[in-house]
Amino acid sequence: VYLIRDFGKGKTPSPDVSDAEELCYRLMNYIDTHIYSIRSLPEVAESFNYNYGYLSGLFRKTTGRTLMEYLTNRRMETAKALILDGKHKIGEIADSLGYSPYSFSRAFKKKYGVTPGKYRKE
């Protein structure tokens, strides 16, 4: 990911994007790029210098879903890709995404309807 910033020009807000939408986009981008290192959402809020309760409410109001739902969905999509890749054990995938093996299996089954082991076999 490349970040290009022009320091010579002042920030010109886009009339189509509100400050709340921009902050939510930044939150989603942060979660997407730090999926393996995030251990808690208050930790994410702290990195943005915001209160977790404020960010959680703003995110839900703006996107219609909670920060936890977004994080869980991204973790499960990442897990699905890693399982299909076949290079890692299920336990390693669970650990790398911040889950215990049991909670990972339960979350994966809730999202996709099958356990990670059965998903890999299919």
pLDDT in tens, 37-94: 999 999 999 999 999 999 999 999 999 999 999 999 999 999 999 999 989 999 999 9
The answer for residues whose C-beta is within 8 angstroms of residue 110's C-beta and 6 or more apart is none
Which phi and psi (to 5°) does residue 80 adopt? -60, -45
Q: How far apart are CA 104 and CA 120, in angstroms?
A: 14
The answer for residues whose C-beta is within 8 angstroms of residue 119's C-beta and 6 or more apart is 80, 83, 108, 112
Predicted TM-score of the model (pTM):
0.81
CB hemisphere CA count around 55 (13 angstroms) = 22
Q: How much is the pLDDT for 15?
A: 58
Helix (H/G/I), strand (E/B), else coil: 16:
coil
Q: How much is the pLDDT for 89?
A: 94
Amino acid at 90: I
Q: How much is the pLDDT for 4?
A: 46
Q: How far apart are CA 104 and CA 44, in angstroms?
A: 21
Q: How much is the pLDDT for 1?
A: 38
Structure confidence at residue 16 as a pLDDT band (50, 70, 90): confident
